[in-house]
Amino acid sequence: MSTLGRTVALALSVFIWVSGPSWAGERRVALVLGNSAYQHAPRLPNPVNDAKAIADSLRDAGFDLIGGGAQLDLDKAGTEQAIRSFGGKLAGADVGLFYYAGHGVQTRGTNYLLPVSANLTKEADVRYELIDIAMVLDEMALAESRLNIVILDACRNNPFGGRGLRAVSPGLAQMQAPAGTIIAYATQPGAVAADGSGANSPYTEALSKALLKPGETVFDVFNDVGITVKRNTGGVQQPWVSASPIEGRFYFLGPTTVVTSTPAAAPAPAPVTADKEAMFWDSIKGSSNRGLFEAYLKQFPQGTFTPIAEAKIAELGAKDAPAATAAAAPLVTSVPGPLPTPADPVPAQVAALAAPPVPAPPSRPVDVSAIPYLSAKARDALSFYPGLPSPKALAISEKGNYAYFSNKSNSRSEDDVKRSALQYCQFHAEAPCTLYAVDDSVVLDGAKGFVPMPVEILGEGKFDPARVPFITDRARQVGMVNYQRNPGHKAVALTLTGRWATVWDMDSAEEASDAAVEKCEKAAGKQECMIYAVDDTIVFDEER
């Protein structure tokens, strides 16, 4: 089987093809932490061994490990640096995974990881000595990876139980999984997990093996782990998973072919839609006929192989993918691995599986020198627009303002780039702009002239994650939702180009504002960072 995997292909055969992933060729990044040598708390024998075992399994599953392997016995500064490195490496990746083994506590409903240097004598020490798990979720949200997995083998007994920390509760608190995120706990929220009498904890022993079972989806893996741990601990420890809806199927190791003993005379089941897509793709993937790939995109606009088909169309000289895919599936700027080699003629199955390609409507390519309302200097500045990766959009104003956005990091959808271009342009023009081009086609109707396309930029009122301007939908669904539910004084800072930062649990609103701007400026470089919200109130207009 190829690394792309396959869906059911031969229902009449004695082979069963396990349903293939839509995560083919993804870039995977993992941070694995294990703390055993605590300086001011009881030492734990197994977390270091656990982290090493998981790191080995993840490396075998194609993950790029921060630091080259498991990060062991880190103090607070070292842990924070590792998490920052993880966030930086995760930018533009498809899958991010964070694993932690060691002491963990919850206080006032918030979960914390314990660096080996942690020394708590009073509740006020929590903020300065421990690591809020939300810090990890925040880095994942900033990276906007397609799938994030957080694994916590950290529900052991409170190591500071005798020091008057009355707000510390047993085990870890249940966290709501942000969009596109799976959070896996070694045991149920509020319960305590065993460190184990062998070389590894019961949870990690089961997990390190389950990760390497070919053909099991991520949810299959965690279900297998839960059953194994429950059985091996006599029902005392029951792992727990919190997840939001996940698009597609993710496999740590791709599906394999399984030989069955199905009698030759057994009736064949009717093919399902997944079979149809796989048969179609397998029939055309080596073709040099552009129309066949366009037909695939028309019939399966959100199919498993959509990015490959779009790249193949570009390779074969297509200037425009079918209009039906534009709003349905984001494009990518690169496809890992070699593209299929041409191998015509096309097999006959295609005729029965695909409708004839529908010619794309005529479109006007972007001629930068012909863009209206702009100065000659502005047109010169836009000379590179045609070479930017799609999806992309260009907005203009009657006053001569303009703004463009492109999908340089594979994280912006077509809706994202159109909305961001209009918002940026409107912000500077102080009046609604209009879209001049989307991708490489002019969308401004010359006969109708300038038609304003106003977009929402809330400057005051109650904070709403779904209405934060300039950022992507993914950042709204993950980062801003995460911000809204976090405690204490907090703030959101952002740039007009969509960079952002959030902080929370600060002593004052002023401290939160300063910290958010500082954090944003580190990520944004020379771009100006502005405070958008403080606590649960939008202050954008006030700050400006």
What's residue 139's pLDDT? 86
**Residue-wise DSSP of 424-450:** HHHHHHTS--EEEEETTEE-S-TTT--
What gap in Å lies between CA 492 and CA 506, rounded to an integer? 13
Strands 63-65 and 71-72: unpaired
542 exposed, middle or buried (CB, 10 Å; 0-12, 13-18, 19+)? exposed
Quick count: other Cβ atoms within 10 Å of Cβ 384? 9
**What tokens appear for 515 in the block?**
């910290």
Q: Give this prediction's pTM.
A: 0.53
For residue 241, what are the β-bridge partners?
184
Question: Angle 202-210/218-232 helices, nearest 10 degrees?
Answer: 140
What's residue 535's pLDDT? 95
Collect the ranges in the chain with pLDDT lower than 50: 1-24, 164, 166-167, 256-275, 318-355, 357-358, 360-361, 410
Q: Would you list the domain boundaries of the chain?
A: 21-243, 273-353, 364-442, 461-543
What's residue 15's pLDDT? 23
What's residue 168's pLDDT? 52
Q: Which residue has the tokens 């080596």?
A: 286
What 8-state DSSP symbol labels residue 72? E
What gap in Å lies between CA 217 and CA 253, rounded to an integer? 9
What's residue 532's pLDDT? 96
Say how many Å lie between the first and final Cα of the chain, rounded: 57
Question: Angle 273-284/290-299 helices, nearest 10 degrees?
Answer: 170
**What tokens appear for 113 in the block?**
């990881």
129: enclosing H helix or E strand: helix 126-129
What gap in Å lies between CA 379 and CA 402, rounded to an integer? 10
What gap in Å lies between CA 358 and CA 113, rounded to an integer? 56
Nearest residue to 418 via CA among 382, 444, 447: 444
What gap in Å lies between CA 320 and CA 298, rounded to an integer? 13
156-195: b or e for each residue (b if 16 or more CB lie within 10 Å)? bebbbeebebeebbebbbbbebbbbbbbbbbbbbebbbbb
Q: Which fold has domain 21-243?
A: Rossmann fold (3.40.50)
Q: Compute CA distances 456 → 2, 71, 423, whole Å.
A: 45, 44, 7
Q: Compute CA distances 491 → 185, 458, 476, 483, 524, whole Å.
A: 29, 16, 15, 8, 17
What's residue 8's pLDDT? 24
66 backbone dihedrals φ, ψ, rounded to 5°: -60, 130
